[in-house]
């Protein structure tokens, strides 16, 4: 069964859980340890962010600058050190754990390949923050991961390029603010199989429209239990959280069951009604 349909089927047993930047409430975000802990907890997705280095390698980091989550400022003697200014070797010599706590000193910025391995057996949810569409498609193809990951971005024209380069990859459109008719109408051009929206601005009506369109729906970033239960009540297929273990515990207890109406409304992409 294709990945998108496997995810749709799994969500029938309860809203799925994505570890945001790994288990980032308790571990330095986007490090191999954070990703591994989220996967080991049983998260169905492990989310992380990717950029391309000066020499074209793919690395896992949220910000375009290395300042916040590594010791780049001390090591380079200046601020705003960009990922695109350094080589892979230079980036991997940085400490990506000490900023979070001394127990994590020595953690490295993972490569995409290292992050994919750390996220196993969860489905890696790769968020492109920077870098070229064709290059990411080629990297995932080389790693044999095209049909085992989902790739998402806030940059919808970039998604369109990526979808053209690798149509077999499940793609997700990220967004925030009002999810209006215009944005819903733009979705098919991205090739998206799912929509991933800021939970603070998703309305009941917009969630229903997404479900009627046959897309999977997720919300980010929800750390409060009340928010997780609310997302499930809206029929969300997944929730992205810095606290995957807490969300998974709720799921086990049945709190993340989705309403029957959401399951009945959602249709696989390509079926009648779209
Ligand atoms: O996965 C969605 C979420 O990660 C988007 O926001 O800024 O945390 O990458 P951000
Ligand atoms: Ca992200």
Q: Residue 99, Cα to own-chain centre: how many angstroms?
A: 23
Q: What is the distance in A from the centroid of ligand 1 to the CA of 119?
A: 17
Residue 157 zone, left/alpha/beta (φ > 0; ψ -120 to 50; rest) = alpha
Cα–Cα distance, 209 to 190 (Å, whole number)? 17
Nearest CA, atom 4, ligand 1: 20
Q: What is the distance in A from the centroid of ligand 2 to the CA of 74?
A: 26
* Inter-residue contact 141 to 63 (CB < 8 Å): no
Does the beta carbon of 47 sit less than 6 angstroms from any atom of ligand 1? Answer: yes
* Inter-residue contact 175 to 198 (CB < 8 Å): yes
Nearest CA, atom 10, ligand 1: 62
Tell me what the pLDDT averaged over the chain comes to: 95
Ligand 1: which atom is nearest the Cα of residue 49? 9
- pLDDT reported for residue 265: 55
- pLDDT reported for residue 274: 32
Q: What is the distance in A from the centroid of ligand 1 to the CA of 220?
A: 7
Q: Is the pLDDT of residue 267 over 70?
A: no
Q: What is the mean pLDDT of residues 92-101?
A: 98
- pLDDT reported for residue 123: 98
pLDDT band at 263 (very low <50, low <70, confident <90, very high): low
CB atoms within 10 A of CB 104: 17
Distances (CA, A) of 94 to 34, 36, 118, 247: 17, 20, 19, 32
* Ligand number, closest to the Cα atom of 63: 1
- pLDDT reported for residue 260: 79
Which H or E element spans position 210? Answer: helix 204-212
Strands (E) in 150-254, as ranges, are 150-153, 170-175, 194-198, 216-220, 238-241
- pLDDT reported for residue 163: 98
Ligand 1: which atom is nearest the Cα of residue 62? 9
Phi, psi of 124, deg, nearest 5: -65, 130
> What pLDDT digit, counting tens, does each position of 190-229 carry?
999 999 999 999 999 999 999 999 999 999 999 999 999 9
Q: Is the pLDDT of residue 273 over 60?
A: no
CB atoms within 10 A of CB 188: 12
Using DSSP, state whether 50 is helix, strand or coil.
strand
Nearest CA, atom 5, ligand 1: 220
Does the beta carbon of 8 sit less than 6 angstroms from any atom of ligand 1? Answer: no
> What pLDDT digit, counting tens, does each position of 48-95 carry?
999 999 999 999 999 999 999 999 999 999 999 999 999 999 999 999
Q: What is the DSSP string of 57-71?
A: -EEE-SSSBSTTTSS
Q: Helices 156-165 and 181-190 meet at what angle, rounded to 10?
A: 20
pTM to 2 decimals?
0.95
Residue 257 is classified by DSSP as P
Q: What is the distance in A from the centroid of ligand 1 to the CA of 154?
A: 9
pLDDT band at 272 (very low <50, low <70, confident <90, very high): very low
Q: What is the mean pLDDT of residues 143-170?
A: 98
- pLDDT reported for residue 261: 72
- pLDDT reported for residue 271: 45
Q: Helices 112-119 and 32-41 meet at what angle, rounded to 10?
A: 20
Q: What is the mean pLDDT of residues 253-266?
A: 80
Does the beta carbon of 29 sit less than 6 angstroms from any atom of ligand 1? Answer: no
Ligand 1: which atom is nearest the Cα of residue 125? 1
């Amino acid at each position: 069964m294709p990945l998108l349909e496997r995810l749709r089927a799994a969500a029938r047993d309860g809203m799925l859980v994505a570890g945001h930047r790994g288990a980032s409430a308790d571990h330095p975000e986007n490090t191999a340890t954070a990703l591994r802990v989220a996967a080991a907890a049983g998260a169905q997705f492990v989310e992380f962010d990717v950029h391309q280095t000066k020499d074209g390698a793919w690395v896992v980091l949220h910000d375009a600058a290395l300042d916040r989550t590594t010791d780049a400022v001390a090591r380079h003697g200046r601020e705003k050190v960009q990922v695109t200014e350094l080589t892979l070797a230079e980036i991997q010599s940085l400490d990506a754990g000490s900023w979070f706590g001394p127990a994590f000193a020595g953690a490295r910025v993972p490569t995409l390949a290292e992050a994919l391995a750390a996220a196993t057996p969860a489905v890696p949810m790769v968020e492109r923050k920077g870098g070229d569409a064709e290059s990411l498609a080629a990297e995932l193809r080389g790693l044999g991961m095209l049909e085992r990951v989902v790739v998402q971005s806030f940059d919808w024209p970039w998604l369109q390029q990526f979808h053209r380069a690798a149509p077999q990859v499940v793609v997700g459109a990220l967004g925030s603010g009002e999810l209006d008719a215009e944005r819903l109408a733009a979705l098919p051009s991205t090739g998206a199989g799912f929509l991933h929206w800021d939970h603070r601005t998703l309305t009941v009506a917009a969630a229903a429209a997404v479900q009627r369109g046959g897309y999977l729906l997720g919300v980010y970033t929800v750390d409060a239990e009340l928010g997780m239960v609310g997302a499930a009540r809206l029929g969300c297929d997944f929730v992205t959280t810095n606290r995957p273990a807490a969300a998974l515990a709720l799921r086990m207890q049945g709190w993340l069951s989705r309403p029957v109406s959401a399951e009945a409304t959602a249709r696989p992409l390509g079926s009648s009604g779209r």
